[in-house]
A and B are shown apart, each in its own frame.
Chain A
């Protein structure tokens, strides 16, 4: 909402010298978001005067038509002689009144005016267009031609109200009344503690039976409809300068007197009006819901198919307007047209004014449905003042009769569905209790009265809210009014005392540890967008029925190629990896923790639950059933060197083993020992893929995978060969962990070390051999470590030798050589039994 300060001053006596910025500050602290203060005519300096065109000489021989004019500027040039001016515009004739800027003046944009030679003549000034004067678009794109009554030499800066300040206010949806000068003025009056001259307080005639007939078939959608008729309008009448200027300042383009007047009244009072050409109306005006398939061509010349929920204005011919949103083309006010033969001007001479109140929701829905947000719908959907219709219609009638020579018809139509004033009861100290400070009853009552409420009662206040404040319905709404008018800045600053808390949950602490552990291990956290498309799963080489292909689909995705939500973290991580590589990075290790979205297949449409009570547990469960599974995952990707080469020696490339180790790093933070098994699982290399298991609730459960990506996958994704990845279900890992470790007894007896080299088939997983050794070695085994793997002729084709260091120790004694040997032999025997391992060289 744009509010010119000059217009505002008409209703509020602001202190003299108060600037737009001052008013802005006051209004902001009262809760009107004045975003900017536009300085109209900033830097403008005269002389800028009304001129009368005396002669026009067309100059020939230039690329564009040029006129050499003499203009009477009265005494403004000091001599009274005609002013010689060269002008490129053509929309004026001898005798027209124009705006002339004389040498020495400065136009907006620091445009200095001086006499200058041009087109072979000397131009002593300029004939001005609206644009050059910073007046905004007047639609003419030519110079300004003024109504003939203005005297040559008159100061045009004042005449055109060129210097002004305009407040631009962002109005929140609850405060539709502020979409009018009347509403802004009310706030300004309160902010300055002065009285308001309410432009809606005007005399209106009582309704009678001989106004234009109106039948409201839907009193819910339209509870008030005022119709007034004005006849005998002069089709040639133009909007006066002051009217045009005010419309320009609020951002509207002057169009024709009748339309300008309806717009003017809308900005003044907040009541949208519609003007019908009475000669084009066929029978009574009606208000009803649209019929299925009904069509209407709106003023913007778009034919629209109406929805049965749309509220329409009708006459005998059918729909003539989309109520509260936009009128129809068939009853539009005719633009004045001049008969080329006779010179007679024809146009609309009889107008029916509509001033109605429509249900906000009906208008909001229609505007959205037809993607037609108009100045009218903007006001109706926020709730207009239902009691302003007759005053607004009267204002329009007054302006039409005053400016267009019309006669007000004595008929006054008012269709009203009776409604009682709305009251809210509120404890007098409620605002105090909401704010946490003491205003006192007197202040509360005064503030409520200032915004237009009637207040009764002592401890319990009965508050009748004003008709223009449909947003005031509950005690807190009233408390807000009191608090904002007293100033949010006066609120004290206190701290509540919550009950003692229990800190982060185990899961939250785990997530932080995992993040730190991975970052400590050289991984950089890289959260990615969760949007995916089918293509990445093709690149991953997933089977057609792979569950990861079944994604939650976004109905209105940002990109049509990525309508799904991730079912794995890898697509996002790999895309981030590629982006980094593309920017010249190498040796990358990234990680992400976040939710993935796994449809259960059993999702139901959730019930539409009420909000006037707590939902039952069963209802909450049904809301929950509508949602997909959303487990939390952690993933890593690696490419390039894990350890760089340097002066210290060779580096080490990132391998599948680093990926598996990342999984172990995560699990370790949860106190979980991962069980690693060989696996074949897209998008991993079939020979370099680990399945990661953990014991969850007593059962070995697959919790993730790690390994090197399949060469086809890296190629398809444009990634370096040997790119590695790991992904774990963090929720599952968390469930697998959590056991409180018992403090180990630290033995101080000496350790006995035994090395064994075991030969097994290449296909035997080292993990199996290790597990068997541990089991066989028994309690004396303190630790076991694989320190070498050997293959070669000595071992034999298809065989490998695994060398382990076993450390034995007893808690209570020094082990004898026999005990140690026996334990080692038991370990080897167990390995032999379960994996066929034999001692190397045996």
Chain B
């Protein structure tokens, strides 16, 4: 920058003439308006606002003016530069917006493309349905009890008042474990129900006992559309003072409402089991037709064969003999129990028609069930 020169006449400085400044400003504005893209605008910016631009040069000359002329010249040049910068910023914004719009359009993709890079997994519906049932009872305060699948006959049969002469203790129904010396009388079986877990629970705990025992059980049936030799069962046992059949009924009602929705209910029919007395067969209202198919041949129901009820399993009041075998005083305590197969429940809850689909592990069967049921 030049040093001030007092003898210098501003009028003599060509670059600071008002018309000259106007011309420089207009030239810059025209160039800015004419810049077609951001690169061109960058060039324009350098040419009209850079250190070597006419306005910058003119600005530099102000210092040489006498003090009385400086203010006016400075104001004039400042206004011109302000207008140019403003136009520049405006054009910059315009061009960036144009570019962005264009680029984003160019970057567009087909979001409907599939992305099955990692195949999905799923949990088996028998597991998730069992968990679902467990959760219903856990929420009520029950514990989930478990036990061995290879079980001694005392736990699986004797303690449950199933005498040695009961036909279920035959090879037609029960898998027997071979003894160490090859004998059949090892006293050990593949459990035929999870009732052994109930016995273990009664031996482990002081009443009150409220447990639910889910698990795998075994019966010597061939696999077909409705039978499987290995299946999942859920059994429940409650032993407390003053438990009644009405409590059993209420508990069953609560379960079917939880699993199938409001309005569901159960029905008990007399039956006989060695481990319960009184004993009952438990049915639930057909959740598909809600009983509307009964006597209504126009609207038959496949789920319940138009019976209106679906058989769930067995239940009853714990036979006092069972309590005695577990050291529980039947004069003080009573209990109720029930049990049913998860496969069957899965079949009618989810319209599964063939047992084999449940047990064969075909991923096409399992995948739609996802993580929870």
Contacts and interface: CB of A to CB of B under 8 A. Distances in A.
Given A28-B269, A512-B131, A524-B121, A494 B244 contact: yes
Contacts of B159: 611
B203 A620 contact: yes
A525 B127 contact: yes
Contact of B210 (A364, A498, A643): A498
B122 interface: yes
B51 to A, nearest CB: 38
A784 interface: no
B140 to A, nearest CB: 6
Given A434-B317, A436-B247, A525-B123, A556 B176 contact: yes
Interface residues of A, number: 104
Given A489-B268, A501-B143, A644-B116, A611 B244 contact: no
Contacts of A603: 180, 186, 188
A643 B123 contact: no
A239 to B, nearest CB: 34
A837 interface: no
A436 B134 contact: no
Contacts of B187: 605-606, 608, 626
B161 to A, nearest CB: 7
Contact of B249 (A491, A504, A642): A491
Contacts of A446: none
A673 to B, nearest CB: 23
Contact of A579 (B216, B245, B362): B362
Contact of B175 (A557, A590, A605, A620): A557
Contacts of B126: 527
A519 B122 contact: yes
B176 A555 contact: yes
B251 to A, nearest CB: 6
A435 B244 CA distance: 5
B118 to A, nearest CB: 5
A498 B334 contact: no
Nearest to B240: A496
Contacts of B242: 433
Contact of B245 (A491, A576, A614, A646): A491
A232 interface: no
Nearest to A475: B320
Contacts of A138: none
Interface stretch (A66-74, A293-301, A477-485, A714-722): A477-485
A494 B246 contact: yes
The interface centre, meaning the residue of A173, A361, A479, A554 with most chain B CB atoms within 10 A of its CB, is: A554
Nearest to B317: A434
B122 A502 contact: no
The interface residues of chain B, by DSSP majority, are classed as mixed
B243 interface: yes
Contacts of A624: 152
Given A368-B167, A623-B152, A627-B188, A527 B361 contact: yes
Interface residues of B, number: 101
Nearest to B146: A508
Interface stretch (A580-588, A748-756, A786-794): A580-588
Contacts of B268: 488-489, 491
A577 to B, nearest CB: 9
A526 B230 contact: no
A27 to B, nearest CB: 10
Given A526-B361, A557-B175, A492 B121 contact: no
Contacts of A611: 158-159, 161, 321, 324-325
B247 A494 contact: yes
B150 A526 contact: no
Contact of A498 (B208, B246, B265, B281): B208
A495 B279 contact: no
A746 interface: no
A496 to B, nearest CB: 4
Contacts of A606: 152-154, 187-188
Contacts of A484: 270, 278
B22 interface: no
A365 interface: yes
A589 B150 contact: no
A519 B320 contact: no
B362 to A, nearest CB: 6
Nearest to B203: A620
A434 B126 CA distance: 34
A630 B159 CA distance: 22
B246 A437 contact: yes
Nearest to A563: B178
A230 to B, nearest CB: 36
Contact of B149 (A491, A554, A630, A647): A630
B318 to A, nearest CB: 9
Contacts of B152: 606, 623-624, 626-627
A590 B165 contact: no
B158 A609 contact: yes
A743 B366 CA distance: 38
Interface of A: 28-31, 33, 172-175, 361, 364-365, 368, 433-437, 474, 476-477, 479-480, 483-484, 488-489, 491-496, 498-505, 508, 512, 515-516, 518-530, 552-558, 563, 565, 576, 579-580, 583, 585, 587-591, 594-595, 597, 603, 605-606, 608-609, 611-615, 620, 623-624, 626-628, 630, 642-644, 646-648, 651
Given A365-B165, A611-B159, 9 more contacts: A33-B271, A433-B242, A474-B321, A508-B146, A519-B123, A524-B363, A587-B119, A595-B149, A597-B149
